[in-house]
């Protein structure tokens, strides 16, 4: 069976977001934010319009581009496309929120201006929703990554799958804990049930990165999620991809830690795992002292984390870290010191 699930959280119920427009049954509202991506945008739009599932509207949100996005959309001449321009660039989160205000569909999907959907993406995911309980708020799947980013070791004939299907959400797993431990939902791969989307303002427009992860975590707090293993999209990776901007990733992760401190305070293993993840990013930024402090804290709150650190750093390095004077413990409720450390790396 291709479908894997997480049990819907106990006591979950539909949470009706304050969408401006009533939902049209069966309609999929596809929201595509774009900013100066004139070269790649036509292919991204075409991959939406060529879906085998025809009941869709495409909302192209021009996030203050200097390029003629309006002219491109007009030239395509498809009445399923609705174009809206933001007066000022506000980032992907703000652009998605603008699109959500205009959405009329029962289902919500997101596309990026440099990604491609496989032709059966929407048909497959709508069909899955028809088979699933009404308390399931999202159906997600992996995508195939390709590109020229050396950090991913891509080359001729080399691709990767993200998220890795081996780590997929399985039946009986706690969706919230699973998503807090790793970012498993890529917006371009996911179809959302509109009535169960997190409440307005939907995406955190103040987050420097990981706003999609934070949105998925809030979704998992109130509804169930199904994770398919068949890829539904192609994702192009380039050196300027926001997911490769480590500094923004750090700041975005700190925001997630703060917003979910209630769950993390009750789960030392989960908190330790996120501290290790943050430590790796700090090391990549050259903040070795902060990284070491985070690693020691992860072992303090969850001693079994030492096994993972030993494998990652080597036993000699781990012994040296343990010999360092203990620093003031970091609680899940307060991360001001960490925020300061990231802020000092610059914007």
Contact 48, 112 (CB under 8 A): no
pLDDT per position as a tens digit, 238-288:
655 545 578 888 888 999 999 999 999 999 999 998 998 888 888 888 888
- Where do we find the tokens 């830690």? 257
- pLDDT confidence of 305, banded at 50, 70, 90? confident
pLDDT value for 101: 93
Q: Is the pLDDT of residue 32 over 70?
A: yes
Find the angle CA(209)-CA(288)-CA(257) to the nearest 5 degrees: 35
Measured CA to CA in angstroms, residue 311 lies from 279, 290, 291, 314, 318 at distances of 15, 20, 16, 6, 10
Structure tokens at 54: 């025809």
| Cα dihedral 259, 180, 15, 127 sign | positive
Q: What is the pLDDT of residue 333?
A: 36
Q: How far apart are CA 91 and CA 337, in angstroms?
A: 27
Residue in the structure block whose two tokens are 């999620």: 225
Query: What does the mean pLDDT of the chain come to?
Result: 81
Q: What is the pLDDT of residue 51?
A: 99
pLDDT of res. 211: 92
In this prediction, residue 281 carries a pLDDT of 87
Task: Supply the pLDDT for residue 208.
Answer: 84
At residue 10, does pLDDT exceed 50?
A: no
The predicted structure's pLDDT at residue 124? 98
- Tens digits of residue pLDDT in 188-240: 999 999 999 987 779 999 888 889 999 999 999 999 999 998 999 998 776 55
pLDDT of res. 342:
46
State the greatest distance between any 2 C-alpha atoms of the chain, in Å, as a whole number: 67
In sequence order, which residues have a C-beta less than 8 Å from that of residue 85 and are 6 or more positions away?
61, 62, 64, 69, 70
Checking if the pLDDT of 168 tops 80, the result is: no
What residues does CATH 3.90.550.10 cover in the chain? 3-244
Question: Which class in CATH covers the domain with range 3-244?
Answer: alpha beta
pLDDT band for 173, please (50, 70, 90 cuts): confident
pLDDT band at 315 (very low <50, low <70, confident <90, very high): low
Average pLDDT over residues 302-311: 72
321-326, long-range: CB within 8 Å, 24+ apart, which pairs?
Answer: 321/292, 321/295, 321/296, 322/296, 324/292, 324/296, 326/296, 326/300
Pairing of strands 56-62, 81-85: parallel
- What is the helix (H) or strand (E) element at residue 30, kind and residue range? strand 24-34
pLDDT for 142 equals 92
What number of other Cβ atoms are within 10 A of residue 221's Cβ? 16
- Band (165; pLDDT cuts 50, 70, 90): low
pLDDT tens track for 16-28 = 445 556 678 999 9
Quick: pLDDT tens for 93-144: 999 999 999 999 999 999 999 899 999 999 999 999 999 999 999 999 999 8
CB 175 within 8 A of CB 220: yes
């Amino acid at each position: 069976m291709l479908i894997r699930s997480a049990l819907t959280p106990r006591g979950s119920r539909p949470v009706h977001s304050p969408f401006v427009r009533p939902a049209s049954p069966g309609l999929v509202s596809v929201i595509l934010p774009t900013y100066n991506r004139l070269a790649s945008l036509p292919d991204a739009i075409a991959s939406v319009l060529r879906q085998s599932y025809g009941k869709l509207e495409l909302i192209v949100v021009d996030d203050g581009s200097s390029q003629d996005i309006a002219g491109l959309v007009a030239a395509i001449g498809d009445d399923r496309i609705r174009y809206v321009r933001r007066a000022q660039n506000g980032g992907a989160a703000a652009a998605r929120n603008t699109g959500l205000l205009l959405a009329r569909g029962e289902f919500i999907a997101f596309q990026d201006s440099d990604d491609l959907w496989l032709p059966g993406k929407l048909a497959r995911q709508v069909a899955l929703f028809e088979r699933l309980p009404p308390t399931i708020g999202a159906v997600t799947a992996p995508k195939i990554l390709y590109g020229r980013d050396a950090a991913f070791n891509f080359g001729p004939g080399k691709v990767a799958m993200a998220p890795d299907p081996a780590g997929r959400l399985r039946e009986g797993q706690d969706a919230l804990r699973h998503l807090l431990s790793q970012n498993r939902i890529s917006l371009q791969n996911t179809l959302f049930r509109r009535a169960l989307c997190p409440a307005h303002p939907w995406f955190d427009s103040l987050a420097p990165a990981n706003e999609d992860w934070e949105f998925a975590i809030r979704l998992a707090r109130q509804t169930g999620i199904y994770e398919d293993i068949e890829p539904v999209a192609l994702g192009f990776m380039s050196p300027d991809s926001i997911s490769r901007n480590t500094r923004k990733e750090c700041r975005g992760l700190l925001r997630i830690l703060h917003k979910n401190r209630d769950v993390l305070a009750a789960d030392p293993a989960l908190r330790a795992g996120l501290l290790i993840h943050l430590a790796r990013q700090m090391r990549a930024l050259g903040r070795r002292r902060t990284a070491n402090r985070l690693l020691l804290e992860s072992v303090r709150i969850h001693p079994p984390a030492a096994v993972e650190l030993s494998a990652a750093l080597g036993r000699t390095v781990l012994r040296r870290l343990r010999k360092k004077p203990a620093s003031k413990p970091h609680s899940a409720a307060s991360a001001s010191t960490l925020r300061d450390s990231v802020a000092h790396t610059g914007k």
